[in-house]
Amino acid sequence: MSALTKEQFGSDFKWGVSAAAYQIEGANDMYGKGPSIWDVFANTKGKISAGQNANITCDFYNRYIYDLILMRGMNIRNFRFSIAWSRIFPEGMGRINRAGKDFYNRVIDFCLELGIEPWITLYHWDLPQTLETKGGWTNREIIDWFSDYISFCIKAYGDRVNHWMILNEPMVFTGAGYFLGLHAPGKKGLANFLPAVHHAALAQAEGGRIIRSVKTDAIIGTTFSCSYIEPHAFTESDQAAANKMDVLLNRMFLEPLLGLSYPFKDLKLLNRITPYMRQDDEAKLAFDMDFIGIQNYTREIVRHTPFVPYVYAKIIKADKRNVEKTVMGWEVYPESIYYMLQKFSSYKQIKNIIITENGAAFPDEVIDGKVKDEKRKVFIKNNLKQIFKAKSEGINVTGYFIWTFTDNFEWAEGYKPRFGLVHVNFRNQKRIVKSSGHWYRQFLT
């Protein structure tokens, strides 16, 4: 197959990059911002690799003009970023921080001045800490708190922003944050996980309804992490384990949104969510999104095990399988994105799919002032081939956003994994466009 061109995807295909407020902004306790759960978690000893935090990170709050000019110089015309809830509402609700409101006005206005379309994610994991003290996502009141926050954002910015995403990867922030305790707020156990899941699923749909009621022409979506799941062996037990993991990682938040309810029959664990459900909740879980954002990085190989309660399934890590992997320990498997596009497109309720995140972290080195990240460039090219294959077969995929523009704070992994098209020296904030970034610029020309 000859090298793909941008034109082969069609003139309406959206090309961009994605980022998240906590991972790039810095200024964590400045300009009126209140603490988020990630501010607290990352500044708690032992929670983050090498004791790092995102108090400064890329300093996007103070350097957004430079970064956006750099982005425009790379021919990137779509920028997906999130709003930090506690920068707008320092206590999570009530009092508005004008400096925070004005910051996002400046970012949006400068994007538009440069010809960059802003795509806003309303929740990318940084819940205000004051709301976490009230139970966070385990407290059903969060649906009202989140609704008020969304209502403010759409009224404040909806005159200039057309594309909105409600949640970023709800399975990750509920699973890692409220079951495994690996992410903020560091809670563990089913008693935290199940109510958090249900309330996030309700908030996801309610957020869509609020935006639609305020801005009828808004283009509304939400984003899901997803991985292609395969059984380790084609035995009945391994296939059953893979099916359960598929429910957990790929279907649990998607199907209720589509009006199909939770997949209770395929994962008995979900029956334990019913005590948190009220009358009419099942109908409230559904909303007709204009698009679904899928975020794919790898595949997972699953085997049966009696030692993991509830699911009796275990993911076999890439380093145990002698396959190429990234710094995150994820297998390099471009076909995964093709299979996930097939899977999501099989739901007749999904009208439009956008790849809202795809990328890879590799060991980048600055040599003579340059970063030659050939592995990342090959990774992106191979994934684009798989996306084009799906599109050529009639799957309605209409956009591709690379994760991410600049190297940043990678949650519990700190600064070691570098996903960016642009290298950041976190000591002096110097930016260097990597070879993958130069390639993307040329591709988009």
Cis bond upstream, residue 404 (ω within 30): yes
CB 301 within 8 A of CB 314: no
Q: Count Cβ atoms below 10 Å from residue 64 Cβ, excluding itself.
A: 20
Percentage of residues in the chain having pLDDT higher than 90: 99
Report the pLDDT averaged over residues 141-148. Answer: 98
The total domain count for the chain is 1
User: For residues 221 and 122, what is the distance between their CA atoms, to the nearest angstrom?
Assistant: 11
Cβ burial, residue 10 (10 Å; 0-12/13-18/19+): exposed
> Distances from the Cα of 360 to the Cαs of 34, 148, 357, in angstroms?
32, 35, 10
- The predicted model scores a pTM of 0.98
Average pLDDT over residues 274-286: 97
Query: pLDDT of 253-277, one tens digit each?
Result: 999 999 999 999 999 999 999 999 9
Tell me the pLDDT tens digit for each residue of 219-231: 999 999 999 999 9
* Radius of gyration, CA atoms only, the chain: 21
Encode the chain in three state secondary structure. CCCCCHHHHCCCCEEEEECCHHHHCCCCCCCCCCCEHHHHHHCCCCCCHHHCCCCCCCCHHHHHHHHHHHHHHCCCCEEEEECCHHHHCCCCCCCCCHHHHHHHHHHHHHHHHHCCEEEEEEECCCCEHHHHCCCHHHCCCHHHHHHHHHHHHHHHHCCCCCEEEEEECHHHHHHHHHCECCCCCCCECHHHHHHHHHHHHHHHHHHHHHHHHHCCCCEEEEEEEEEEEEECCCCHHHHHHHHHHHHHHHHCCHHHHCCCCCCHHHCHHHHHHHHHCCCCHHHHCCCCCCEEEEEEEEEEEEEECCCCCCCCEEEECHHHCCCCECCCCCECCCHHHHHHHHHHHCCCCCCCEEEEECCCCCCCCCECCECCCHHHHHHHHHHHHHHHHHHHCCCCEEEEEEECCECCCCHHHCCCCCCCCEEECCCCCCEEECHHHHHHHHHHC
Residue 271 forms part of a structural domain = yes
Looking at the domain assignment, is residue 187 inside a domain? yes
* CA distances, 13 to each of 2, 112, 126, 317, 422 (Å): 20, 19, 30, 34, 23
Residue 113 lies in a domain: yes
In a domain, 302, yes or no: yes
Q: Judge if the upstream peptide bond of residue 185 is cis by omega within 30 degrees of 0.
A: yes
* 169 catalytically annotated: yes
For residue 267, the model assigns a pLDDT of 96
| 416 token code pair | 């070691």
Range of the domain at 401: 6-444
- Of the residues 25, 169, 331, 410, which is catalytic? 169
Query: What would the pLDDT profile of 110-136 be if each residue is shown by its tens digit?
Result: 999 999 999 999 999 999 999 999 999
341, amino acid identity:
L
| pLDDT computed for residue 315 by the predictor | 98
- Partnered with residue 165 across adjacent β-strands are 121, 221
Amino acid at 306: P
Separation of alpha carbons 89 and 84, rounded Å: 9
Structure tokens at 121: 């994610």
Question: What pLDDT sits at residue 1?
Answer: 54
Say which residue the tokens 């090298």 belong to. 3
Q: Nearest-CA neighbor of 188 among 198, 175, 178?
A: 178
Q: Is residue 1 part of a domain?
A: no
Q: What is the pLDDT of residues 327-338, one digit of tens each?
A: 999 999 999 999
**Catalytic, out of 206, 331, 357, 410:** 357
Give the pLDDT confidence of 198-217 residue by residue, as tens digits.
999 999 999 999 999 999 99
Q: Residue 2: its pLDDT value, please?
A: 75
Beta bridge partners of 397: 353
- On whether the CB atoms of residues 36 and 84 are closer than 8 A, the answer is yes
**Rounded Cα–Cα distance for residues 419 and 408 (Å):** 8
For the chain, give the mean pLDDT: 98
Answer yes or no: is 112 within a domain. yes
> What mean pLDDT is predicted for residues 4-19?
98
Token pair recorded at residue 128: 């205000």
Which amino acid is it at 39? Answer: D
For residue 306, give the CATH number of its domain.
3.20.20.80
CA nearest to 214, candidates 139, 280, 162: 162
